Chains A and B, each alone.
Chain A
Amino acid sequence: MNSILIFVSVSLILAILFLIFRIGILTNVLKGKSDQQVGSANTINAFLFVVVFVLGIIGFYLSFVHSSKYFLGEPASQHGVETDRLFWIIMSVLTLAFLVTNTMLYIFPFVYRYKEGKRALFYPDNHFIERIWTIIPAIVMTGFVYFGWLVWSDIMKPASDKAEVIEVMAKQFAWQVRYPGVSDNKLGAYHFRKIDATNEFGIDFNDEKSFDDFLPTELYLPKGKEVLLEIRARDVIHSVFLPHFRVKMDAVPGMPTKFRFVPTITTKEMRVKNGNPNFNYELVCTEICGRGHYAMRFPVVVVEQAEYDEWKKKQTPWAQLNAEYVAQKTTKELKEKYLKLNGLPVVAQPEMDSVKVDSTSNNLQALSVK
């Protein structure tokens, strides 16, 4: 019923509008206006440009003030400070250019609107002026490129050996992170064919280095230390985006990528800074990846170095949490060592006897500690 009413009223309104339109045309024809090319509408349009321009500038200012409190605030990384500064410097120059050109673009139509008997100025070119407005943008661009290059090459330079390496793996539709473990501080190998429902990373347990790797449910980062994210995806392209750190890098299946940065503000400090006691850093996906693209959230925590080390020590290696699974997947020689040190029963097999147990292996020591 309602929809019929709406339909009828909309049709009526349309019909009335059409009638007004028709009558307008007919009166114009009667007045003989139709041959006149430039009427009063010309002045109205010219004037509207000025009105729209003034309102537009006011709207621009107000909307900026309104929106700027929702921007991301102080960058929480070293390079973020640089990119933000560059961004706002470039934006200021651009806003200036925007205002200058648009002022001309909106005021000229009003000033130079059609007047009966007036002649436009025949002015086909002026090489001097053209050269000026070729050279000025060229110089400005050179500046932008130069500073952009400085910042860019600084961000993209290779990480040092001291960097904290953390692996970030994207899948539909979640993130997972892997830390290299406290004892060897090295990530174990992986292969996509080793992925299954339990081992979502495809960690290769034929590699001893993977025994102490742990997979926490939050991305912990130490303040003031170089962090190197080793990024990969296992199904489609995703993109690692840490908005507060100004970090973004695609996660590509089959082609691991990296991003190096230094977090500078702990979560606690940030909570004080923006007055939000519940503030948390977040990891976000920025490359369309399917149905759940908008829901790939992963919590990020930045802590002081000491707290970070403490936290790392408390983590249990994945291999220990899934001992049975690892026992099945590792090689015979490693299995023996692994089971023994994990306090699991070793099923004696004849060929096992020949295997020499190397009890100095770091990662196994680490396991035995826990």
Chain B
Amino acid sequence: MASVDTLHVGSVSHGHDHDHDHDHDDLPWIRKYVFSEDHKYIAKQYLISGILWAVLGGLFSLIFRLQLGFPNADLTWLKPILGEWIQNGKLDPEFYLAMVTMHGTIMVFFVLTAGLSGTFSNFLIPLQIGARDMASGFLNMLSYWFFFASSVVMLISVFLKTGPASGGWVIYPPLSALPQAVTGSGMGMTLWLGAMALFIVSTLLGGLNYVTTVINLRTKGMTFSRLPLTIWAFFITAIIGLLSFPVLFAAALLLIFDRSLGTSFFLSEIYIGGEALHHEGGSPILFQHLFWFLGHPEVYIVLLPALGITSEIVATNSRKPIFGYKAMVFSIVAIAFLSFIVWAHHMFVTGMNPFLGTIFMVLTLIIAVPSAVKAFNYIATIWRGNIVFTPAMLFSIGLVSFFISGGLTGIVLGNAATDIQLHDTYFVVAHFHIVMGSASFFGMLAGVYHWFPKMFGRMLDDRLGYIHFWLTFIGVYLVFFPMHYMGIAGFPRRYYSWTGFDAFSYTGETNELGEAIIKFADMNQLITIAAIITFVAQFLFIFNFFYSMYRGRVASANPWKSNTLEWTTPVNPGHGNWPGEIPQVYRWPYDYSKPGAKDDFIPQTVPFSETPESNLPNEVDE
């Protein structure tokens, strides 16, 4: 492969020192380190914001897991942090809901949309398609700062005296519209809506750039059939985002009108707090339609980039071409298309027309087919490979495992008949935390482990990575797998406690002390303990991340012996990515272990004319 040093010496286009990330010496400090327009720097800003949010989102989940796992514990020791929300050593039920809501919002939007897509679309699109930067660096920079502003607003809402939004991350009105219904629907909800409006602007600005860049700025030879699957995934994700986020914006806008200006889009016939409200003729179900028109594609906005990252990592570390490249691309496109026409499967029991229910059931179960194809193709890729277990590879295999386990249960939930019993129980919680939450989270971690050398020019520590993986992988299964059982037993979600119901507490058994055994109290405890261990294990990663950024082993140019374009840049690429001309692309990115070839990988920049020994019959340079 092309040696980095030769590229390094011949700096042409910018003529600056390329040892640093921000090589625009002529730029003022603030444009280099704060309002940078370099896609790599913006990606890092997204990543670090995402990590901070993930810690906060995880912490919130621990607060409500404590309540669920140890309902009788005295939580007075949390009073210094939570203040008024702890009364008599107990967590306030409304604050419990607030934590559930914020956990969902933060994880779905701030971590797995901004933190995942924002980081890797920004970082990899220009590097892997051979572009100097995004189509518009300025809009890209704006995109991050809108996200930042959104973060600030959302963070402020957590500290309100009335609490942050607490109507669930789906913010169904009327609950989210009426401060009388829950205190979090007052100022907390206002800030939530404000933050989401900023967030949507940020996502749209980002998405505009990703799509434009992929379409317009590919280097010579980089045809669509030679795009790495990461880029396909980011590209399709950005398109889904562009089409679905405006719809959420519309829903939020109408909700704002209902809340503040007395319109009746979603509110009707409400008697609350001792008075009948004036609203008549609104439809709460209309909001759900609008919300899930975004909400379901959002699931794939979160998941597809993770799948793209996995495709790349699995192929590289199995030293094998990805199995069925065309099928992979086709299934991404199919999933993306179908994601727009299945939204109402979240609403089977809202009293919708049964015929519509049937239609949405059919469409939903069709999604299982391209998803199954993807899963089988991953397995076929590792089959007869020569697998190197880098931490990134471990996390990718973990992702495939989650994708299968969680995806399968989606088949029962997507079936309208069986969904009646399972809807809004812990079965659903288990399903989406595994298939969407954990799988995407693993995709994000895999991406960080894999591209850390490109981001910071140093290597993450492998052994910490291994420990991190095994603790997290086992932890995630311990946390979410038991939830299936609780769901089958009918346990409803978002419950502060289940002991008020015989159905969810009575077992008829007693322990050796003669105390009644509460149904699934042991499971709930196990889940909470596993969640705490998993959460603490993430600090191994965070330590590794920040430590290695400055003290890690210096990376070589292509540490994973990968084929894609980003590894042809210098170890620390400057703004503009390639010091000389942008390399030309001659082949697809998955020529691993090609028979006859000298090495077990042939980078995309190597022309067929240089590899006569391994060329297939139809492979000649144009």
A–B direct contact (CB < 8 Å): yes
**Chain A residues in the interface with B (C-beta under 8 A):** 21, 24-25, 34, 37-38, 41-42, 44-46, 48-49, 52, 56, 60, 63-64, 67-68, 70-72, 80, 82-84, 86-87, 90-91, 94, 97-98, 101-102, 104-106, 108-109, 112-115, 118-126, 129-130, 133-134, 137-138, 141, 144-145, 147-149, 151-153, 155-157, 171-172, 192-193, 195, 197, 202, 231, 234-237, 239, 241, 243-244, 246-250, 252-258, 275-276, 278-280, 282, 284-295, 297
Q: In the complex, what residues of A have CB within 8 A of residue B318's CB?
A: 112, 120
What is the distance, in angstroms, from A318's C-beta to the closest C-beta of chain B? 17
A/B interface sample: 24 pairs, CB < 8 A: A41-B462, A42-B389, A67-B488, A70-B520, A86-B417, A101-B379, A112-B318, A114-B386, A121-B385, A122-B592, A125-B323, A144-B411, A145-B362, A148-B418, A231-B351, A235-B178, A236-B174, A241-B490, A243-B503, A252-B284, A252-B351, A253-B174, A254-B281, A254-B283
What is the distance, in angstroms, from B558's C-beta to the closest C-beta of chain A? 11
Cβ-based interface call for B482 (8 A): yes
Q: How far is the CA of A257 from the CA of B285 in the complex (A)?
A: 12
What is the distance, in angstroms, from B151's C-beta to the closest C-beta of chain A? 25
Say which residue of A21, A86, A172, A234 sits within 8 Å of B415 (CB atoms): A86
- Nearest B residue (CB) for A87: B418
Q: In the complex, what residues of A have CB within 8 A of residue B354's CB?
A: 152-153, 156-157
Q: Are B365 and A144 in contact (CB under 8 A)?
A: yes
- Nearest B residue (CB) for A93: B411
Q: A120-B319, A235-B181 are in contact. Are A70 and B519 (CB under 8 A)?
A: yes
Say which residue of A106, A119, A171 sits within 8 Å of B600 (CB atoms): A119
Q: Are A293 and B418 in contact (CB under 8 A)?
A: no
Stretch at the interface among B23-31, B50-58, B227-235, B369-377: B369-377
Q: In the complex, what residues of B have CB within 8 A of residue A90's CB?
A: 411-412, 415, 418
Q: In the complex, what residues of B have CB within 8 A of residue A234's CB?
A: 269-272
- Nearest B residue (CB) for A156: B354
Q: Are B324 and A130 in contact (CB under 8 A)?
A: yes
Q: In the complex, what residues of A have CB within 8 A of residue B326's CB?
A: 125
Q: Are A246 and B420 in contact (CB under 8 A)?
A: yes
Q: Are A288 and B97 in contact (CB under 8 A)?
A: yes
Q: In the complex, what residues of A have CB within 8 A of residue B320's CB?
A: 120-123
Q: Are B412 and A91 in contact (CB under 8 A)?
A: yes
Q: Are A112 and B387 in contact (CB under 8 A)?
A: yes
Given A254-B282, A257-B350, A258-B351, output 19 extra A-B contacts at Cβ < 8 Å: A42-B389, A46-B389, A67-B489, A70-B485, A70-B507, A119-B600, A130-B327, A134-B372, A141-B411, A153-B358, A235-B270, A237-B174, A244-B503, A253-B174, A254-B267, A254-B284, A289-B175, A290-B97, A290-B181
Stretch at the interface among B4-12, B200-208, B399-407: B399-407
Cβ-based interface call for B35 (8 A): no
The residues in B between 149 and 206 inclusive whose CB is less than 8 angstroms from any CB of A are 167-168, 172, 174-175, 178, 181-182
Interface residue tally on B, bucketed by range: 35 or more
Q: Are B284 and A294 in contact (CB under 8 A)?
A: no
- Nearest A residue (CB) for B276: A193
Say which residue of A101, A119, A248, A295 sits within 8 Å of B420 (CB atoms): A248
Q: Are B384 and A133 in contact (CB under 8 A)?
A: no
Q: Are A295 and B500 in contact (CB under 8 A)?
A: yes
- Nearest A residue (CB) for B523: A67
Q: Are B321 and A122 in contact (CB under 8 A)?
A: yes
Q: In the complex, what residues of B have CB within 8 A of residue A122's CB?
A: 320-321, 592-595
- Nearest B residue (CB) for A192: B269
What is the distance, in angstroms, from A230's C-beta to the closest C-beta of chain B? 11
Stretch at the interface among B244-252, B295-303, B421-429: B421-429
Q: How far is the CA of A133 from the CA of B423 in the complex (A)?
A: 29
Stretch at the interface among B82-90, B138-146, B444-452, B466-474: B466-474
Q: A67-B523, A253-B270 are in contact. Are A120 and B473 (CB under 8 A)?
A: no
What is the distance, in angstroms, from B174's C-beta to the closest C-beta of chain A? 5
Say which residue of B274, B384, B470 sits within 8 Å of A112 (CB atoms): B384
Most buried by B among A68, A119, A193: A119
Q: In the complex, what residues of B have CB within 8 A of residue A126's CB?
A: 323-324
Q: Are A24 and B463 in contact (CB under 8 A)?
A: yes
Most buried by A among B325, B416, B425: B416
Most buried by B among A34, A106, A202, A252: A252
Say which residue of A60, A101, A291 sits within 8 Å of B93 (CB atoms): A291
- Closest 6 pairs between A and B when the two form their complex, measured CB to CB: A254-B268, A257-B351, A156-B354, A67-B485, A243-B490, A151-B417
Q: Are A294 and B408 in contact (CB under 8 A)?
A: no
Say which residue of B267, B369, B387, B422 sits within 8 Å of A114 (CB atoms): B387
Say which residue of A63, A83, A125 sits within 8 Å of B418 (CB atoms): A83
Q: Are A294 and B498 in contact (CB under 8 A)?
A: yes
Q: In the complex, what residues of A have CB within 8 A of residue B620's CB?
A: none
Q: In the complex, what residues of A have CB within 8 A of residue B400's CB?
A: 105
Cβ-based interface call for B608 (8 A): no
Cβ-based interface call for B220 (8 A): no
Q: Are B496 and A148 in contact (CB under 8 A)?
A: no
Say which residue of A38, A244, A291 sits within 8 Å of B182 (CB atoms): A291
Cβ-based interface call for B368 (8 A): yes
What is the distance, in angstroms, from B113's C-beta to the closest C-beta of chain A? 22
Q: Are B97 and A105 in contact (CB under 8 A)?
A: no
Q: In the complex, what residues of B have CB within 8 A of residue A112's CB?
A: 318, 382-387
- Nearest B residue (CB) for A289: B175
Q: How far is the CA of A34 from the CA of B462 in the complex (A)?
A: 10
Interface 1/0 per residue, B230-272 and A, CB below 8 Å: 0000000000000000000000000000000000000111111
Most buried by B among A45, A86, A118, A257: A45
Q: In the complex, what residues of A have CB within 8 A of residue B557's CB?
A: none
Q: A90-B411, A137-B369 are in contact. Are A255 and B285 (CB under 8 A)?
A: yes
What is the distance, in angstroms, from B139's C-beta to the closest C-beta of chain A? 37
Q: Are A83 and B421 in contact (CB under 8 A)?
A: yes
Q: In the complex, what residues of B have CB within 8 A of residue A152's CB?
A: 354, 357-358, 361, 415-417
- Nearest B residue (CB) for A287: B424
- Nearest A residue (CB) for B371: A137
Q: How far is the CA of A292 from the CA of B324 in the complex (A)?
A: 52
Cβ-based interface call for B506 (8 A): yes
Say which residue of A239, A278, A291 sits within 8 Å of B424 (CB atoms): A239
Q: Are A293 and B408 in contact (CB under 8 A)?
A: no
Q: Are A141 and B384 in contact (CB under 8 A)?
A: no
Q: How far is the CA of A248 from the CA of B401 in the complex (A)?
A: 32
Q: How far is the CA of A152 from the CA of B386 in the complex (A)?
A: 48
Q: In the complex, what residues of B have CB within 8 A of residue A137's CB?
A: 368-369, 372-373
Q: Are A41 and B350 in contact (CB under 8 A)?
A: no
Q: In the complex, what residues of B have CB within 8 A of residue A244's CB?
A: 503
Cβ-based interface call for B590 (8 A): yes
What is the distance, in angstroms, from B309's C-beta to the closest C-beta of chain A? 17
Q: Are B387 and A250 in contact (CB under 8 A)?
A: no
